[in-house]
Amino acid sequence: MSGFDRLSVKPGLPPMEARLVESLPTDPGWQYEPKWDGFRCLIFKAEDEIALQSKSGKPLARYFPEIVAAVGVLKADTIVLDGELIIPIRDHLSFDALQMRLHPAESRIRRLSRETPAQLMLFDCLVGEAGESLLDRPLRDRRRALEQLFAREAAPGFRLSPYTDDPDLARQWLDQAGGALDGVVAKQREGAYETGERAMLKVKQMRTADCVVGGFRYAAKSREVGSLLLGLYNDAGKLDHVGFTSSIPAEARPALTKRLEALSEPPGFTGNAPGGPSRWSTDRSGDWQPLRPELVAEVRYDHVTGNRFRHGTKFLRWRPDKAPEQCRMDQLEHEARPAQLATSLEGAS
């Protein structure tokens, strides 16, 4: 019989999720927390058995042995917690470093766990001291249980996510913390832990960057532009491909296609170019048209990973007033380390 069979909350539990909204709720009864850019992780401990579970239900323990070890030394025999795996590197959080852990070679995982150790940012407690389920208890009770556990254990590798009940302060976090903060999550203080439901609300911290259009791709079923390929100049003066935008209004595509075709000229990108290994790679990843680096577009983005936009960006406007060579990598904002974020949040209070 597995020790997990004795848990009141067992592995396989779908975590409560958040729904994206435009603005934070301001009516009474909400609690606000920073939104962390990492891997969502449920932690299960039943005596000597430990499981780390991703948002999709997949096991994570083999990829983060340092977290398993940290959970193992906790005094509590029974633990079920909710949090976010993060890896601070230098002055920001590195999503790339998290992704590098998802590797089949145990030797590489062990090496990375020493070189770039992960931390666990905790924000919910699903099982109480006596092993009872807290899923139906209000968030205020679960938070109190989490704070008591955190104060009692004080284990390295764990952090307690801050929160506020003040909507004005939460809005200040979004307005004044800048790129240090990925966003804010709102949770109902009297709400239960609704497994698998989007019962929380999230507002993402959106940022903008002025990028050089170094190339474009035609749409799949027409000879009109489908997406613009975006670049920024690196420290060596080379234009690196950093992402794309496809949010081009349909009525603007015919004229824009002609404009782009008139600028068609290799090489387009003089540094990292499209077509190599990329999270955006498809069968058409090599099918792009290079452009002279003359057009500058302002785009809105959410996450940066390895000096690239992790997702597609939203086109905002053309910037004819901006010289292409002014579009440099230093525009990109990474989410800050927790200690730096705390300073930013205190400065916004």
- Active site positions, annotated: 35
Answer yes or no: are the C-beta atoms of 203 and 184 closer than 8 Å: yes
Length of the chain: 349
Residues 147 and 142: their CA atoms lie apart, in Å, by 9
Answer yes or no: are the C-beta atoms of 150 and 321 closer than 8 Å: no
Residues 161 and 144: their CA atoms lie apart, in Å, by 13
Burial class (CB in 10 A: 0-12, 13-18, 19+), 229: buried
Answer yes or no: are the C-beta atoms of 229 and 244 closer than 8 Å: yes
Strand 289-290, strand 207-218: pairing: antiparallel
Dump the DSSP string for 108-142: HHHHHHHHS--EEEEEEE-B-TTS-B-TTS-HHHH
